[in-house]
Each structure stands twice: as C-alpha cells, then as structure tokens.
Structure 1
C-alpha cells in the first residue's frame, strides 16, 4: 500500500513539473522576456537551426491570440553610471544621442556604480517595473520606450497644449 501511494505521489509531482510554466526570472535567465514573447516567435527558431531552444521558449511564451496588451507607463527613468559607459557603449551612445529627446517623459539619472536599468513609473510617480538593459543596443532601448511609454497624444493632460477646456 505504501509503495502504491509513493508511486501515485511521484506521478503527481511529475505531472505538475511538466505543466509548470517558467517564471519571469527563469525566462530572463534563459534570455527570454516572458511578458513580450509570443509563441509564434518560438516556432521561428527552427528556421535558424535553434531547435534546442524551442522547448524553453514555449514555456515562456504567450499564445498570440491571448497575448496580453502591452502595458503603458506614464514615465521612465534610465539610470546609469557614467563610469561604466566603457562597458556599455550602446547605452552610452543612446544617452549621448538625440534619441532621449524624443521621449519627454524619460528622465536620465546618473547613479554611481549602477549597471544600466530602466525604471517604469505610473502617473503617480510610483515605480511599477524595473528592467535591466545592460545587453541592449540603442535601437532596442528606443523600441522598448516607444512600446511601453505613453505618447504625448495619449496623455490625459493633452488639453493643456490647446485652448480647450
């Protein structure tokens, strides 16, 4: 009887292990951003002979039909240390270019010793999410900000720029 109960317990554990999805942290350690990964992208890995990544990718992806809507944030703060610019030349290029000017709701903050991160804030100025960007290039940073920051025309205070009440 004990052996049968133990066997049933082991099968139950295996079923839960097989059905368990990876957490956001697990996916990040594998190089996937769970919040933005669509399962159709996983299928494309085979085209590049990356079949061994497909299983992990499928554990981190969202079905295209049920993909969550991109979350928008009112403001963002890109925090970086100038002493680390040589280690992150792409982040330095972004910060020193005219690209940040395209985002009036982006603040660049210099924090000594910090690897580059983007902090995403709600309209009340509360940090809702933090994203490490040390391996990103300038285009990736710009695309991320375009995707996740509220555009000026989407801002509720747009009426202040007109004479409307």
Structure 2
C-alpha cells in the first residue's frame, strides 16, 4: 500500500514539476522509450480514456509522417533495356506526366532497375526507393505528393530534364576484378 501511495505522490509531484521519468512510466505500465504519442490517441477506441493523460506524459512525440515530407528535387533512374520488365515505368516516362514536375530529373542508367532518389535543397541524396512494383498512377501520385511545388515564374512550366548515361567504350569495365 505504501508503494502505491509513494507512486501516487511521485506522479502528482512529477506532473507539477516535470514529465514522468522512465521509472515512473514503467510503474504505470508504459515503456517510455517505445511509446509513441500517436498510440495514446487510440486509447479512446478501447474505452481507456482514464489512462490517456498518463500515456501522454510518457510518450515520445512522433516524427513527421513520410506522407507530409516534401523534397526539393527527385531523380528517377531507369534503364531503357529493362522497359519490357517494367512497362508501367516506361508508360510513365513516355506519357506527358513527367512534364508536370520541373524538379524531376530522369536519368538513364545502364542495367539499373527503376529507382527514385529524393534530394535535399543542396542536391544531396536523402532517400533511395525501389519502384519496381509501382504502377504508372502510383509513380505519378508519389511525385505529386512528395515533390515540392516550385514557386516563382517557372512554377507553371513543364521542364523536367533527361540525362543520358555517358557511354564508355566498355561499360562492363567496372565489373573487372
């Protein structure tokens, strides 16, 4: 009984002066290191409204959802020799859809499966995604959702760029041991 009174006192003092410690949360049944605040919102669905305030004290704020992140630039890397294996990517490229994204660059890389590289404002690659299983609409929706809309006088122009791979005399030269 004394343990519960001490815990209750600690919770009251903790809520007045600071957030709960990891030990306080553990005693309440929460793992502070792994509890995300979005999980606390779901407690209402299960009739657990009474523990929601404690949950909020023990949770870690969620990072910004990926769906809300926007990137200044993207590079779609493909190999024309693999268009037969990925007709949906070929359809996207040959349609007028890439023209909607002035900050999209299409880069033809020999032997490469379709990938998207998302770049920050300095042009550094932040994420690389395989898009081998995506259909044409998914690719278009992804760029619409995750690419920043350019501002200024060029915002209405459709000017994506296409970069051809530089031909070397022997492209298998890099595979030599």
User: What is the TM-score when the length of structure 2 is the normalising length?
Assistant: 0.50
Q: Report the Cα distance in structure 1 between the residues aligned to 2:107 and 2:134, rounded to whole angstroms.
A: 18
- For the aligned residues, what is the CA RMSD? 2.7
The answer for the alignment partner of 1:152 in structure 2 is 150
CA deviations over 1:108-159 (Å, ceiling 9, x no partner): 0000000000000011100000110001011000110011100023xxxx27
Structure 2 gap segments, 5+ residues each:
1-33, 40-61, 156-177
Secondary structure of the 1:151 match is coil
Report how far residue 68 of structure 1 moved. Answer: 2.6
Q: Report the Cα distance in structure 2 between the residues aligned to 1:125 and 1:146, rounded to whole angstroms.
A: 19
User: What is the TM-score when the length of structure 1 is the normalising length?
Assistant: 0.53
Higher helix proportion, which one? Answer: 1
Stretches of 4+ aligned residues off by more than 6 angstroms: none
CA deviations over 1:15-49 (Å, ceiling 9, x no partner): xxxxx8xxxxxxxxxxxxxxxxx99xxxxxxxxxx
Q: Structure 2 residue aligned with 1:68, among 36, 44, 64?
A: 64
Q: Structure 2 residue aligned with 1:85, among 77, 83, 86?
A: 83
Instruction: Rate the CA distance shift 1:112–1:152 in 2: closer, same or farther, 3 A.
Output: same
The answer for the alignment partner of 1:58 in structure 2 is none
Structure 1 gap segments, 5+ residues each:
1-19, 21-37, 40-65
Q: Report the Cα distance in structure 2 between the residues aligned to 1:82 and 1:96, rounded to whole angstroms.
A: 11
Q: Compare CA radii of gyration and give the structure with the larger one.
A: 2
Matches within 5 A, 1:24-103: 68-69=64-65, 70-103=68-101
The answer for the alignment partner of 1:28 in structure 2 is none
Instruction: Rate the CA distance shift 1:159–1:110 in 2: closer, same or farther, 3 A.
Output: closer
CA deviations over 1:52-77 (Å, ceiling 9, x no partner): xxxxxxxxxxxxxx573411110000
